[in-house]
Chains A and B, each alone.
Chain A
Amino acid sequence: MSRIVGIDLGTTNSLVAYVDGAGVPRVIPDAEGRRLLPSIVAYTPAGVVVGEAARRQLARNPARTVYSVKRFMGRGWEDVREEVRHVPFEIVPSAEVVRIRAGDREVTPPEISAQILLALKLQAEAHLGEPVERAVITVPAYFNDAQRQATKDAGRIAGLEVLRIVNEPTAASLAYGLQKLAQGVIAVYDLGGGTFDISILRVKDGVFEVLATNGNTHLGGDDFDRAVVQWLLEDIRAAHGADLSKDPEALQELRLGAEAAKCRLSSEERTALTIPFERFTYRREITRGELEGLIGSLVDATLDPCRMALKDAGLATDAIDEIVLVGGSTRVPLVRQRVGELFGKSPHSQLNPDEVVALGAAVQAQILAGGITHMLLLDVTPLSLGIETLGGIVSVLIPRNTTIPTMAKEYFTTSVDGQTAVDMHVLQGERELAKDNRSLARFVLEGVDPMPAGMPKIEVTFLIDANGILQVQARELRSGKAASIEVKPAYGLSEAQVAQMVEDSFTYAEADVNARLLIETKTEAETVMNHVRRALKQGGHLVSPEELHTIAAAVDALLAVECGSDRDAIRERTIDLNKATEPLAEAMMDAAIRGAVTSKRADQILEQK
C-alpha cells in the first residue's frame, strides 16, 4: 500500500505533509527547501506554472495568473459576482459551475486547484522517492457540500485518491493532540487567507469530538488586503492625481505591497511602503493603528460566528479551557486581542499557524492507514440539510452540528395517478425559505411503477459521510426496488465532466510538466542576464576588453536559444554565462573591498546585489 499524505489546500499557500517512521508529522519541502507552495497558477502561452514561478507572473501577466481560487470552489456565478470585481482574471458568466478564462483556455476552479495538488504530489514524490497516490485534503469546516465535492474532484483530476476530506480546524486539533493530549474543551479559531472557521471540541480519552462549528467561507486575510488596497488607491488619487483602480498590473503591485506591509505590521508599529509605478514612485508610511482602523470591522465579523458556535455547543465562554489560533491571519495583533477579549482568555499558537493544518492532515492520513489507533476524530456537518416542501419552505432533515456520519430518511409519494417520477430539491443552510439557502442538487426519482396517487411509498435515505459529503439512495417500499436517481449538482461538475478532466490531465500531464520546467529555466536565464547587465554597467571598466568580449559572446549565445524550447540548451548556456562572468564578479568584489575608501561606490555595488 502506498503512503497517504496530508494536504492543506489553502487560499494563499498550500502544503503537503506526512508522518515519518518515528511517528512525527513533517511538512515536505520542495527541492529548494521551501515549505509553502503559493496557491497560484499561471496559464502562460508556453504552459502552466504553479507556485513561486507563478507568483512572479502575478504583476507581469495578471489576466492569466489565477490566485485565491479556493474562493471560487463549488460556487456559482451569482455567488462570486462581488468577488469578480476584485480579481484581474476574467470569470465567464455561466448558469452552472464558474469558469475562469486564463489566456485562451477556460478552466474550472477544480482544474486550477488540481494543478496545485499535482505540484504538491510531485513535490512529495521527489522527496519521498516513491509514488504518492492517496491523500487526505483539508477544507474549511464551514465549506458546504458543493465546495467539498469540488475539492474531492480536484484531487481526482490531479491523480490522487482522496481518502478523506477533513476540516481544517479539526485537523489542527489533531496536530496539537498528537503532541500533548490535554483533556478539556478547546476552541480552534482559524483565520486563513480567504476563509474563517471556529470549531469547539471536547478532547477526552483520545476522542476529538467536535461540539459545534461555525464560520464564513468568504472572510480572511485577502479581505484585509483589499481594505488596505482601497485605502491606498484613495491616497494615490489624492497624492498623485492618478486613478489606478482600472489598471490590473498596478492593482497587483498594490495588493502585493499591501499584503507585505500588513505582515510587517504584525511585528512593527509602523512600516514604509514603496511601489514604483511607470509614471511615479508611490511612498507611504503606514502605522499599525491605521491598519487596525481599516480591518477592525472585518475582525469583528469573526466574533459572531464564535458566539453562535458557543451557543450551539451549549457552552459559556468560561467553559473553554484553551483557545488555539490557526491560519496566517491570526498573526495580526488585533485578531489576537479581540479573540482574547471575547473568550476572556489568552489564545495561543504554539505550533506554526501556517503549518499546523497540514500536519494535522498527515495525522489523519496516518489514522486512516492504521498507524495511529488511539485517536479518533468525530466531526460535525456545519450546515443544516433539508428539502424543499410546498410553498418553498425548507424542511430540515439533518440539523447543523450533527455528528457525522449521519443519516436521515424521508418518505415521498405521488400526487397524480400513474405518476412515475418524483422531483426533489435538496438544500443546505439555516434559512427558512428554500431560495435563501444553498441549492445542492435537484433529484429526480424515476421508474416509480404507475399507481394511483399517494399509493407509492418511496423511502429516500440522505447520508452524510465522514467527509461531510451527501449521498442519496432511494427505494420504493412496496416493490422494494431501488429507484434510480439522476443527480444534477447545482454548481458542481458532473461525473462525466470529472472523468473527462481526469483523462485530459493524463494527456497533458507530461506536456505541462515540461512546460513548467521550461518556464522555470527561462526565468532563471532572464534573471542571470539581468544581473549581468547590471554588473556590466557597474563594473564593466574593471575587466579587460577580452573578458568583456567573452561575456558578450556568452550573452548572445544564451539569447539565441532563450526563446526556443530546448531546455537543456538554455540551461547549459546559462551556466556558461555564469562562468564567463566570474572574472567580472571577482573584480567587483575586490573593488567593493577596496571601496572602504570610496564608500559610495561600494554601497552602490552592494545595493545591486
Chain B
Amino acid sequence: MSDYFGVFGLPRKLQVDLDALQRRFYELSRRHHPDFHQGAGAEAQAQALEASALVNRAYRTLRDPVARVEYLIALEEGRELREETTVKPEVPRNLLAEMLEVQEALEEATSGGLTAETMGRLRSERQRLEDRRRAEEAALIAGATEWDAAVDAGQAREPLLGRFKQRLAARAYLSTVIDDLTQALGEDEGSHVAHRRH
C-alpha cells in the first residue's frame, strides 16, 4: 500500500497546491467511496471501504501543513507503518526563563485562587505562547521551500529533518503549556480535547 503522498500521486515534497489536492481528493472519493460500490460483492465492498479510509486519512494529513511535516518525518524514518508520530514535547532552550514565569503564574493560580489579577496574567502568558507557537508553525512551513529544493537538488536532507523535529518538539511543548493555562483559567469545559496522538 502506498504512502499518503503516493495516494495522491505526489512526490515527497512539502509544498502542496491545496486546490489541486482538494480536486484530487474529490476524484479519488468518487472512485472509492462505498456509496458507489453498494452493488458489488462483499470483498469489493471491503476493498472500497479500506481504499476510501486511506484516501480520507491521506487528505486529512496532507492538507494540514504541520501534520504534513510530522508525517514526512515518520516516512523518512521508516515509521509510516506505525501511523504514529511520537515527537516528544521538549522545552525550547531560548524559552526556559519564560517557562519558569509561566509555571509561577500557574502555581499562583492553584494556590491563591483565580483573582482578576492572576487571570489577567495567565491570559497574557497564554497569548505570548500562542504567538510563539504560531511563529514555530510559520517557520516549519517556511522550511518547506528548503526541503523541496534539497529534494530537487538531490542534497542531504537529514539536517533539515533534525530542525523540523526540533520545531515540532517545541510546538508540542507549547501546546501542552497552553492547554494547562486554559485549564487553569477554567475555559476548557466542553471544548477540552483528550490527549492527542496525531
Contacts and interface: CB of A to CB of B under 8 A. Distances in A.
Interface of A: 1, 163-164, 204-205, 207, 209, 304, 308, 311, 367-370, 373, 376-378, 384, 386, 393-397, 399, 402-409, 411, 429-432, 437, 463, 465-466
B93 interface: no
Contact of A405 (B22, B49, B82, B192): B49
Interface in B19-55: 22, 26, 29-30, 33-36, 38-39, 49-50, 52-54
A399 B38 contact: no
Nearest 4 CB-CB pairs, A to B?
A407-B53, A403-B56, A394-B194, A405-B53
Contact of B59 (A369, A370, A397, A403): A403
Main secondary structure of the interface of B (DSSP, over half): helix
Interface of B: 22, 26, 29-30, 33-36, 38-39, 49-50, 52-54, 56-57, 59-60, 82-83, 190-198
A406 B195 contact: no
A384 B197 CA distance: 12
A466 B56 contact: no
11 contacts: A304-B190, A376-B29, A376-B36, A378-B33, A384-B193, A403-B56, A405-B49, A405-B53, A405-B56, A463-B53, A466-B33
Given A395-B197, A403-B56, A430 B49 contact: no
A411 B82 contact: yes
Contacts of A396: 193-198
Contacts of B192: 430-432
Contacts of A466: 33-35, 49, 52
Contacts of B33: 376, 378, 466
A430 B35 contact: no
A370 B38 contact: yes
A311 B191 CA distance: 10
B49 A399 contact: no
A408 B57 CA distance: 9
A212 to B, nearest CB: 13
A397 B59 CA distance: 17
Nearest to B54: A407
Contact of A207 (B29, B38, B60, B190): B29
Give the most central of A204, A370, A378: most B CB within 10 Å: A378
B56 A406 contact: yes
B194 A430 contact: yes
Contact of B195 (A209, A376, A395, A463): A395
Give the most central of B53, B192, B198: most A CB within 10 Å: B53
A407 B198 CA distance: 13
A396 B194 CA distance: 7
Contacts of B57: 402, 406-407
Contacts, number: 98
Contacts of A399: 193, 196, 198
Given A368-B38, A408-B83, A432-B192, A378 B29 contact: yes
B194 A402 contact: no
A384 B194 contact: yes
Contact of B60 (A164, A384, A394, A403): A403
A409 B81 CA distance: 9
B28 to A, nearest CB: 11
A206 to B, nearest CB: 8
Given A205-B26, A405-B52, A407-B50, A430 B60 contact: no
A395 B29 CA distance: 28
A209 B59 CA distance: 12
Contacts of B30: 207, 376
Nearest to A408: B83
Contacts of B83: 408-409
A392 to B, nearest CB: 11
A374 to B, nearest CB: 9
A209 B22 CA distance: 11
Nearest to A369: B38
B56 A204 contact: no
A386 B191 CA distance: 16
B107 to A, nearest CB: 21
Nearest to A386: B194
B38 A463 contact: no
Contacts of A311: 191
A411 B197 CA distance: 13
Give the most central of B33, B39, B59, B192: most A CB within 10 Å: B33
B193 A402 contact: no
Nearest to A393: B195
Give the most central of B30, B35, B49, B192: most A CB within 10 Å: B35
B48 to A, nearest CB: 9
A370 B39 contact: yes
B54 A368 contact: no
Give the most central of A370, A407, A411: most B CB within 10 Å: A407
A409 B80 CA distance: 11
B35 A397 contact: no
A308 B197 contact: no
A272 B168 CA distance: 65
A176 to B, nearest CB: 18
A376 B29 CA distance: 8
B41 to A, nearest CB: 14
Given A163-B38, A405-B49, A430 B193 contact: yes
A573 to B, nearest CB: 51
Give the most central of A308, A395, A432: most B CB within 10 Å: A432
B84 to A, nearest CB: 8
A204 B195 contact: no
A304 B193 CA distance: 16
Nearest to A4: B38
A576 B190 CA distance: 64
Contacts of B190: 304, 308, 430
Contact of B35 (A204, A368, A402, A432): A368
A545 B83 CA distance: 91
B197 A397 contact: yes
Nearest to A378: B29
B29 to A, nearest CB: 6
B195 A394 contact: yes
Given A308-B190, A397-B197, A409-B83, A402 B52 contact: no
B49 A431 contact: no
Given A378-B56, A396-B195, A406-B57, 19 more contacts: A163-B38, A204-B22, A205-B26, A308-B190, A368-B38, A370-B39, A376-B26, A376-B35, A377-B35, A393-B194, A394-B195, A395-B194, A397-B197, A403-B59, A405-B53, A407-B54, A409-B82, A431-B194, A463-B53
A308 B30 CA distance: 29
A301 to B, nearest CB: 11
Contacts of B29: 207, 376, 378
A429 B82 CA distance: 24
